[in-house]
Structure 1
Amino acid sequence: MTCKWYIVCPMKRYYDEGKLDKKWIENYCHGDYKSCVRYQMEETGRYHPDNMLPDGTIDKRLK
């Protein structure tokens, strides 16, 4: 099942632009999205930067 936030998530944009490895999309966005830190923060209304990866790490290369 796909994450309900996928269509508006920066991870989709980064992937479409070729900046993000497919594993992130497969493992989280179209996989176990409930384990995604971004998903958890979005669900609780907490701020998270666009360049935060699904595992919670910040990728300074993403802008």
Structure 2
Amino acid sequence: MCKWYQVCPIKYYTDEGKLPQKWVDSYCLQDNKNCVRYQLEEKGIPHSDKMLPDGTIDDLL
């Protein structure tokens, strides 16, 4: 599991039903090294809460 999972907006959005569970299953609980959010967080680079793990921005969130 990603070390940022508990504080990640992706968890919140999924828990709230705003995003499908596939995001958590495919990134947060798997090889999160492919998660763009994880990569940016590790480098200390600010990023939008609306950014999905693949790096796309979902303005509907």
Q: Identity over the aligned pairs, expressed in percent? A: 64
Distance 2:40 2:17 in 1: 25
Q: Normalising by structure 1, report the TM-score.
A: 0.95
Counterpart position of 1:25: 24
Letter in 2 for 1:10: P
Q: How many residues align?
A: 61
Q: Normalising by structure 2, report the TM-score.
A: 0.98
Task: Specify every segment of 5 or more residues in structure 1 that has no aligned partner in the other structure, as ranges.
Answer: none
Tell me whether 1:6 sits opposite 2:5 in the alignment: yes
Runs of 4+ in 1 over 3 A off after TM superposition: none
Distance 1:32 1:59 in 2: 22
